[in-house]
Amino acid sequence: MTEVAAAPAAVRHRLRVTGVVQGVGFRPFVYRMATELALGGHVGNDSGGVFVEVEGPQPDVACFERRLVDDAPPMARVATVETTAVLPLGEHRFRILESRSRAVARTFVSPDVAVCEDCLAELFDPADRRYRYPFINCTNCGPRFTITVRLPYDRPNTTMRAFELCEACSDEYNDPADRRFHAQPVACAACGPRIQFYAGAGATVAAVAEAMKGVAEAVEGTDRAIAAAQAALRAGQVLAVKGLGGYHLVCDATSDAAIRTLRSRKARPDKPLAVMALDVPGAQVLAHINAAEAGVLSGPARPIVLLSRRSRSPLSELVAPGNPYVGVLLPYTPLHHLLFRPVPGCDAPPPQVLVMTSGNLSDEPICYEDGEARERLSRLVDGWLVHDRPIHVPCDDSVVRVEAGHELPVRRSRGYAPLPVRLPFESVPLVAAGGELKNTFCLAAGRDAWMSQHIGDMGSVHTLAAFKRSVRQFAGMYRVNPELVVADAHPGYQTRRWAEEDANRPVELVQHHHAHVAAVMVENGVPADERVIGFAFDGTGYGPDGAIWGGEVLVAGYGSFERRAHLRYVPLPGGDATIHKPYRAALAHLWAAGIEWSADLLPVRAAPPVELSVLRRQLERGIQCVPTSSMGRLFDAVSSLLGARHTVSYEAQAAIELETVAGSHVGLVPRYRFETIDDEIDSSALLLAIVEDFRHGCAPGAMAAGFHEAVARLIAETADRLRHETGIGTVALSGGVFQNVLLVRLARAELTRLHMRVLAHRLVPPNDGGLALGQAAIAARRRPSVACLEVLR
């Protein structure tokens, strides 16, 4: 380079980059960019993240710094960049430095990411050396979290340690200009993991043998395994397919017979099953998909997206009986892509759409270890498509809905976990145990809160064991030794029992709905001392007065809350035990509203006569009746009153169907009202109006829509009143009821009209899957430092 007098003076900047910046191709990216801009300096990894020094003309350095964030590799998540100016050294060459000691590394682990376009192109390029290799990956894609045994994220610390790199892979791994530079899971057919198909023990082996007759003898190895799996699926069999975060149970989603077999073996009568289609056009045959939904479907996290189902599609009705939605996901591993495409030398067509459901029994955790899977799944499947890359961390598929163009998480797991959520203030090292259903836990330290993957419902011993194992894994991975454990105040929760009996740490108890509100505050970055008007609407949560809460309006900060309004208590015979029977919630609400159980009402007809008289006696004498202010139960009650749902086989089913009935309604909507007296919100008049409309033959869709609008207006009017009383202009919406996209939309519109700021969930689920984040924030705020307290004692 020649020095020109007019050239701008050289500057040298020292940068420190934190976030998910290791193991994601960040150093080669920096190297390429610096070389392209003819800048000097170096880049390297250390315990804090990535450090860079860059030198050259000021405008070029500025351009470099801008692109460092804007053009970062797809898997990178830049949290912060700190820049200091230092003296120029006259350096013109740019180098990648060896990693510095990372003995105290607390770096971030990237979530697993769907196979990228570049790798896919190679996968189907007959000239590529990884043609049809089911484990192709690069720094921009592939497994991460699920193969990480410990940090730092280097190959010997992953389950890839068993596979020694061949020369060709090693060359790519060590070449800074290569897309696979330091891609820890890099592999090829010569040195990496392999797949295998084998038939299960059963009479149906013959069917596969029959179907395999169309496959040429010359088809071997991977292709033969894929062809055999496709043949088995065509024959209506159920397969166990080992994936990224565990085993899936897979069958043909267009076949009633195959799904019936799967459902009866899995003991899952009608809970919806997710399906996988090849691509967005393939998914469009099954469901209505807008641009935002298509973006989420095909994005790097590849969650299951809940979509509105087409009335006419090749999908079997049994995939989601009576449900207007269907959960769709697209292939995210190379193995999935191979499964959906024709095998060379094989005439039979590949599958069009497959059921892909977690490999487990009913609500137990997903199977991920080979031995355990063979033991627990062998009764459920006819054949196995497996591989020999061990899964270290089990991780279910994530589930999202799309609201106003944004993701509304329903289950945050693969593709998202364990990305940290940034806390608005410092936390002592702690672990928050989460809730009882849809459990996730949260490990926090400093400003980071790591939410775990989906653990499951804590009812079974298997889930409890998975919970304990995962807590240990997380704490070990991030080297956080919790000083405090946080649990829900419910005395019956397994998580509280674990906190008090197993964890050997001071325990902080947190009220359920306060945790919901705090969760949505954290992810929206509400500062430490600010308060919000929080609507925590869910099915059930323990109230300090022993009642079941769930229709709560709280004025809350992180440290404390005041209950400013709630649904009036209704005695619920049997309490939580009746959540599978929405008609009982309806009968309880009718009773409380003073509405006669006359024979023309649908919940009365849905209840067996004996049960009716038992219930009447229970209510008259107050036997085993738990007072409840649950909004979830009110949705159940209205759902039953309108005939949408009287009994359910999975949580929130009645509310989901009520939302659907409302959402599909066009035309005039009746105007219903809640009445608020002091701090009690009364639904009696509203229920009476619905009953009258029902008797006048009003369309269920109109009444359901009217009910949704009434809840949205209730939120707006209550928020407005509390704004006058408190001066707070921010409204937080959380709790499982806000999985209802129609309700969120209506409430947002009403509140925006009143110029109030609305906080809704985008990062963690509004349901109990997001609870742990709120618990962590509340405990961190209440106990700034446990160490200090020890000294005071």
Interface residues with Zn ion (CB under 5 A) are 116, 119, 138, 140-141, 166, 169, 188, 190-191, 538, 541, 768
Q: Give the residues across from 81 on adjacent strands.
A: 17
User: Which residue is listed with tokens 């956080």?
Assistant: 480
SS3 368: coil
- Give yes or no for a contact between 276 and 328, defined as CB atoms under 8 angstroms apart: yes
**Nearest CB to Zn ion, comparing residues 70 and 167:** 167
Termini Cα distance of the chain = 68
**Nearest CB to Zn ion, comparing residues 190 and 685:** 190
**Nearest CB to Zn ion, comparing residues 166 and 741:** 166
**Least spacing, CB of residue 190 vs Zn ion, in Å:** 5
| Half-sphere exposure in the Cβ direction for 44 (13 Å, CA) | 13
**Least spacing, CB of residue 137 vs Zn ion, in Å:** 5
**Least spacing, CB of residue 178 vs Zn ion, in Å:** 12
**Nearest CB to Zn ion, comparing residues 22 and 230:** 22
**Least spacing, CB of residue 231 vs Zn ion, in Å:** 29
**Nearest CB to Zn ion, comparing residues 229 and 654:** 654
**Nearest CB to Zn ion, comparing residues 490 and 783:** 490
**Nearest CB to Zn ion, comparing residues 237 and 629:** 629
d(CA 506, CA 284): 52
**Least spacing, CB of residue 629 vs Zn ion, in Å:** 13
What residue type is assigned to position 483 of the chain?
A: E
**Least spacing, CB of residue 192 vs Zn ion, in Å:** 6
Q: Give the residues across from 536 on adjacent strands.
A: 552, 734
**Least spacing, CB of residue 463 vs Zn ion, in Å:** 18
**Least spacing, CB of residue 491 vs Zn ion, in Å:** 16
d(CA 341, CA 241): 16
CA distances 653 to 22, 579, 646, 708, 736, Å, are 42, 10, 10, 16, 12
Quick one: tokens of 80?
A: 């912060």
**Least spacing, CB of residue 130 vs Zn ion, in Å:** 9
Count CB-CB contacts under 10 A for residue 8.
11
**Nearest CB to Zn ion, comparing residues 23 and 200:** 23
Residue 71 phi, psi dihedral angles, 5° rounding: -105, 15
**Nearest CB to Zn ion, comparing residues 363 and 538:** 538
d(CA 317, CA 55): 63
| Half-sphere exposure in the Cβ direction for 675 (13 Å, CA) | 10
d(CA 205, CA 233): 12
d(CA 517, CA 771): 9
**Least spacing, CB of residue 633 vs Zn ion, in Å:** 13
**Nearest CB to Zn ion, comparing residues 630 and 683:** 630
**Nearest CB to Zn ion, comparing residues 40 and 541:** 541
Report angle CA 503, 505, 507 to the nearest 5 degrees. Answer: 95
d(CA 611, CA 606): 10
What residue type is assigned to position 93 of the chain?
A: R
Nearest of 266, 444, 442, 251 to residue 355 by alpha carbon:
251
Work out whether the CA dihedral 550, 556, 560, 561 comes out positive or negative.
negative
**Least spacing, CB of residue 115 vs Zn ion, in Å:** 6
Quick one: tokens of 266?
A: 């899995």
